[in-house]
Amino acid sequence: MAEEFQATSTPAITGMKGRCPRCQRGHLFDGLLKLAPRCEVCGLDYGFADPADGPAFFAMSIVAVPALAFALWLQFTYEPRLWMHLLITVPLTLAGSLILLRPLKGWLVCSQYFHKAEQGTIDRDWHAPAAHDGDPD
Ligand SMILES: [Zn+2]
């Protein structure tokens, strides 16, 4: 069944489109930011997906610098009162962050699938080198 799916593109493009990371045809989201339980086309269970607060971190990081630059430009150009910033700068900052959340969440979920990222585990078969006994010889 997997042969009929087209070759995968990049996680960024697939995720920003909100598509399933395996078949790239099903929908990743069930609502604005809520992930669907599984792909309606290929049946991939999205239970592996856990981007946590990654999308929020990246959205804030991307929006913070332009928002601050805008606020400074507005302040030094027009010298508005503080409440003008509350009406202009704060909504612009919030809107910019909210607009980025969905594509960033899709990107991170698809990256988890593409790169097989999962919770860290302890490798019980790993053999540590012999402990140094303190003797230089
Ligand atoms: Zn799918």
**CA 6–ligand 1 middle distance (angstroms):** 11
Confidence of residue 131 (pLDDT cuts 50, 70, 90): low
In a domain, 37, yes or no: yes
In a domain, 2, yes or no: no
Q: Is 103 in contact with 15 (CB distance < 8 Å)?
A: yes
Reduce the DSSP state of residue 22 to 3 states and report it: coil
Q: What is the pLDDT of residue 116?
A: 80
CA distance 56 to 63: 10
* pLDDT: which is higher, 113 or 118: 113
Terminal alpha carbon distance of the chain: 60
Instruction: Report residue 5 as tokens.
Output: 């799916």
Q: What is the pLDDT of residue 136?
A: 60
**CA 7–ligand 1 middle distance (angstroms):** 12
**CA 53–ligand 1 middle distance (angstroms):** 24
**CA 41–ligand 1 middle distance (angstroms):** 5
In a domain, 70, yes or no: yes
pLDDT at 7 over 60: no
Q: What is the pLDDT of residue 119?
A: 72
Distances (CA, A) of 51 to 6, 8, 56: 25, 20, 10
In a domain, 136, yes or no: no
**CA 16–ligand 1 middle distance (angstroms):** 15
In a domain, 124, yes or no: no
Domain encompassing residue 58? 11-114
**CA 27–ligand 1 middle distance (angstroms):** 7
In a domain, 76, yes or no: yes
Q: What is the pLDDT of residue 50?
A: 85
Q: Is 21 in contact with 110 (CB distance < 8 Å)?
A: yes
CA distance 37 to 43: 9
In a domain, 126, yes or no: no
In a domain, 135, yes or no: no
**Count of structural domains, the chain:** 1
